[in-house]
Amino acid sequence: MCHAFLNDSRFYTFLFRIDQDIAAEVQAGGCLCGGVLHSARYPRKPRGLRGALDESYEKRLSFCCAEEGCRRRCTPPSVRYLGRKVYLGVIVILITALEHGLSPKRRHQLIEALDIWPQTLSRWRTWWREVFPASRCWRQTKGNFIPPVAPCQLPGELLGRLSGGDLLRRLCHLLGLLGPVSTTSWSGYLRVAIDPQKM
């Protein structure tokens, strides 16, 4: 595979710890009604890279309000899952970002290794070019990039513009930036820092 960290279980443990920090912050903030949030994880079954993932990847961290009559579901942003996509966010970013930079053979190998269907790839492209640019997350963030990043350049150009010396840092930065699009049941501002040096 093209990047060693993709097969390194420490990378996924690191992302899980960030998700735990984010979840702790969201839980501490409580429900919109003022109620206490109780753990209500739900099952996930991410595809590809099974060998590098432990059982922490079989559950999405989530909460439910304890207040009778509210019971609102509250799923914190995640740096692991990109909404309901079955592949991890890191794969969705890398495969679409590297699309133009990889030789056809290399790209084919990666897609084979990860068992990704052509229809899935085309959905991801559409997501980056049409769905993500319309999201509140991108509308709030895009102004930070001068000159602007055009939707047709997503996510590769964005990955290249983010701060951080190596791909891993920029990738972690992007996963953090994408956190808000990974949930529809929570919105707010997070203080969780993502530093891959702590991996």
Q: Is the peptide bond before 76 cis (omega within 30 degrees of 0)?
A: no
Is residue 157 involved in binding Zn ion (CB under 5 A)?
A: no
**8 A C-beta contact, residue 126 and residue 96:** no
Among 35, 156, 176, 196, binds Zn ion (CB under 5 A): 35
Phi, psi of 121, deg, nearest 5: -60, -40
Q: Cis link prior to 46 (omega < 30° from 0)?
A: no
- Count residues contacting Zn ion (CB under 5 A)? 7
* Contact set for Zn ion, span 124-143 (CB under 5 A): none
Within 59-88, the residues that bind Zn ion by CB under 5 A are 65, 67, 70, 72
- Taking the least distance from each CB to Zn ion, the nearer of 122 and 187 is 187
Estimate to the nearest angstrom the gap between the alpha carbon of 57 and the chain centroid: 13
1, 7, 10, 33: which one contacts Zn ion (CB under 5 A)? 33
* Cα 92 from Cα 136, distance rounded (Å): 19
> Residue 64 or residue 92: which is nearer to Zn ion going by CB?
64
Shortest distance in whole angstroms from residue 31 CB to Zn ion: 3
Choice between 29 and 83, CB closer to Zn ion: 29
Helix axes 167-178, 89-97, angle to 10 degrees: 120
The footprint of Zn ion (CB under 5 A) covers 31, 33, 35, 65, 67, 70, 72
